[in-house]
Structure 1
Amino acid sequence: MNQPRLPDLQPLRTNNSATILAGTGLWVVALVVLLIVRPGPDHQWWIWTCVSGICGGLFGLWFVRRLDRGKAPDEREPSPDTPSSAESTGPATATSPILPAPPVPPTAP
């Protein structure tokens, strides 16, 4: 049987820059901890793993921002100070908003 096709899902709007900055920040924290603790000679590669993670994060940040410059303003990732479209339009549900009850006419004593 042929069923009607459901509409295509829209991609999620994410803040890629914040995600990349958080990951890069974690690599920086790991590097600082390793520089304080000073791992043994067999584990010096841990430091270089953190350095390469930081470099990869900086490259990812540059790349994502470069991609965002090429997008139309309505396709760009939401900035933290402006509400996203989901917040401004409300939840995407089929329920109607709750309306207040109509006023009750006064009764005669």
Structure 2
Amino acid sequence: MRLWLAESERRPDPAPARADARKAVLAGTALWLVALAVCLLLRDALASAGLEWLIWACVAGAALGVIALVVVLAIRRRAARQSSSS
């Protein structure tokens, strides 16, 4: 196996894979919300174990998921506008 190939020996780069980022962001946000619900149900046990910060970690994860969803939707709208105007 060679670690270096000359430019003339390289194959062309493959086309980038198409993916729907909305699904991934929604799934991650949903998981953070489920974790938040579990943490709220177990609040007393978490507090006695000194792990009450997990609730705030779940809130932060869900909030970042919502922000990411807004960003993904804005990028999709911008791409759709650019492709329709071209």
Is the shorter-chain TM-score for this pair beyond 0.5, marking a shared fold? yes
Aligned to 2:39: 34
- Tell me how large the CA RMSD over aligned residues is: 2.1
C-alpha separation in 1, matches of 2:51 and 2:71: 31
Aligned partner of 1:46 among 40, 54, 58: 54
Task: Tell me the SS of whatever aligns to 1:10.
Answer: coil
After superposition, the Cα gap between the structure-2 partners of 1:6 and 1:47, relative to the gap in structure 1 and judged at 3 Å, is same
Aligned partner of 1:19 among 13, 24, 27: 24
If you compute each CA radius of gyration, which structure gives the higher value, 1 or 2? 1
After superposition, the Cα gap between the structure-2 partners of 1:37 and 1:2, relative to the gap in structure 1 and judged at 3 Å, is closer
Task: Tell me the SS of whatever aligns to 2:79.
Answer: coil
Instruction: Count how many residue pairs are aligned between Structure 1 and Structure 2.
Output: 74
**More RCO (CA 8 Å, sep 6+):** 2
**Identity between Structure 1 and Structure 2 (%):** 38
Per the normalisation by structure 2, the TM-score is: 0.75
Larger helix proportion, structure 1 or 2?
2
Per the normalisation by structure 1, the TM-score is: 0.60
Task: Tell me the SS of whatever aligns to 2:16.
Answer: coil
Aligned to 1:65: 73
